[in-house]
């Protein structure tokens, strides 16, 4: 068993009883080729995810240590932490949700159990838990509504995962609400401050609320975004309109308001840790790039990570 895997299992045993991030923990592990780029790196895998995504990471040398929690279907589609083993808790406030549906993967990374975990993002299911748990959460370009991606605290791992060594200096624009979302002032202010290394210019962007299209699974080009990306490499927004809510649900608030547009358009996007709000809860900065330009998202993560420290819980 690789040393990093042994350390991950020890860390898991320490925090799992409190956080409930894992659906299943594996007991046996296949040896890996030490020459692979991520040889011996322990990862957590979202329960129910496509097997091909796990196998792609294993081909890089990653060692899955378990399947992370997702909602068990007993709650509505707005899932916020109840699963087959109980409630998955936000490490920064146990009374708050970590977000969903890739809840356990975000918590496994935020709590320092693993440096990398997988997820699937159909409306914000990677980016929202990443924002609320204070980690990076990337969704890749996809022609379908749902896209695979990963969580991490280290932008370098994002580059290795994507197989890119390109170093870009992307230009960025900022929209606090995409022209329709009701966003808390504090979320917008913290996210905008974290975006400072990217020097974004504000744009008057007005997109239609995508709710009806999302429920109808109407994916395809977005002319307003296509025009925007003719003049900028990145669109920056807050990741979520508000902070993580309690385990009883969000009420009338639509947590996906700022994320699901980009599931329909297929653009790659990332949530970047932006800092903490006045209640000590993490806030996320969302960056969206042109199709196939995940390298610009890695650049954004690297540039902003020098301004916002990403540390595992507990401090």
Residue 183 lies inside a defined structural domain of this protein: yes
Is there a single domain that holds both residue 55 and residue 101?
A: yes
Shared domain check, 279 and 134 = no
107 and 130 together in one domain: yes
End-to-end CA distance of the chain: 28
Regarding whether 25 and 148 lie in a shared domain, the answer is yes
Distance from the Cα of residue 262 to its chain's centroid = 13
Residues 207 and 292 in one domain: yes
Is residue 313 in some structural domain?
no
The pLDDT of residue 247: 86
Structural domains counted in the chain: 2
Among 101, 129, 162, residue at a domain's last position: 162
Question: Which residue matches tokens 């898991």?
Answer: 12
User: Is 214 in the same domain as 129?
Assistant: no
Q: Identify the domain boundary among 162, 194, 216.
A: 162
Give dist(CA 80, CA 97) in Å, integer.
Answer: 6
Same structural domain, 61 and 88: yes
Q: Which domain holds residue 273?
A: 172-305
pLDDT of res. 86: 80
CA distances from 192 to 36, 180, 205 (A): 38, 18, 16
User: Quick one: 18 and 96 in the same domain?
Assistant: yes
315 lies in a domain?
no
In a shared domain, residues 139 and 88: yes
Q: Quick one: 132 and 180 in the same domain? A: no
CATH code assigned at 17: 3.90.1300.10
310 found inside a domain: no
Question: Would residue 196 count as lying in a domain?
Answer: yes
Active site residues per annotation: 46, 101, 125
Same structural domain for residues 11 and 144? yes
Residues 181 and 299 in one domain: yes
What is the pLDDT, as a whole number, of residue 162? 96
Residues in the chain: 315
Q: Name residues of the chain where pLDDT drops below 70.
A: 73-82, 84, 307-311, 314-315
Q: What's the confidence (pLDDT) of residue 73?
A: 67
Specify whether the backbone of 185 is left (phi greater than 0), alpha (psi in -120 to 50) or beta: alpha
* 241, 203 contact by CB (below 8 A): no
Q: For residue 118, tell me if it sits in a domain.
A: yes
- How high is the pLDDT of residue 1? 76
Write down the residue that tokens 């299209």 correspond to.
Answer: 213
Please say which residue of 162, 187, 202 terminates a domain.
162
Question: Does residue 38 lie in a domain region?
Answer: yes
Is the pTM above the cut of 0.85? yes
- Residue 167 in any domain: the answer is no
Q: What is the pLDDT of residue 75?
A: 61
């Amino acid at each position: 068993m690789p040393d990093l895997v042994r350390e991950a299992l020890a860390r898991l045993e320490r925090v799992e009883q409190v956080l409930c991030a894992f659906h299943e923990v594996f007991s046996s592990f296949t040896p890996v080729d030490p020459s692979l780029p991520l040889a011996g790196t322990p990862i957590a895998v979202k329960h129910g995810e496509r097997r091909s995504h796990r196998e792609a990471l294993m081909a890089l040398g990653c060692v899955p240590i378990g399947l992370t929690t997702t909602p068990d279907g007993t709650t509505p589609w707005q899932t916020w932490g109840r699963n087959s083993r109980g409630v998955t808790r936000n490490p920064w406030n146990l009374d708050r949700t970590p977000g969903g549906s890739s809840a356990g993967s975000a918590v496994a990374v935020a709590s320092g159990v693993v440096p990398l975990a997988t997820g699937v993002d159909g409306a914000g299911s990677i980016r929202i838990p990443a924002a609320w748990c204070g980690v990076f959460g990337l969704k890749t370009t996809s022609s379908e509504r749902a896209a695979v991606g990963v969580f991490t605290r280290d932008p370098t791992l994002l580059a290795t995962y994507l197989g890119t060594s390109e170093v870009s200096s992307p230009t960025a624009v900022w929209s606090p609400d995409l022209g329709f979302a009701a966003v808390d002032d504090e979320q917008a202010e913290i996210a905008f401050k974290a975006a400072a290394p990217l020097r974004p210019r504000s744009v008057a962007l007005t997109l239609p609320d995508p709710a009806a299209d999302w429920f109808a699974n109407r994916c395809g080009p977005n002319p307003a975004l296509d025009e925007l990306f003719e003049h900028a490499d990145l669109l920056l927004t807050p990741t979520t309109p508000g902070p993580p809510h309690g385990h009883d649900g969000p009420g009338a608030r639509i947590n996906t308001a700022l994320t699901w547009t980009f599931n329909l358009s297929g653009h790659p996007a990332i949530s970047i840790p932006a800092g903490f709000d006045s209640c000590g809860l993490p806030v996320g900065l969302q960056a969206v790039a042109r199709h196939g330009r995940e390298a610009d998202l890695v650049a954004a993560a690297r540039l902003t990570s020098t301004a916002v420290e990403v540390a595992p819980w507990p401090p």
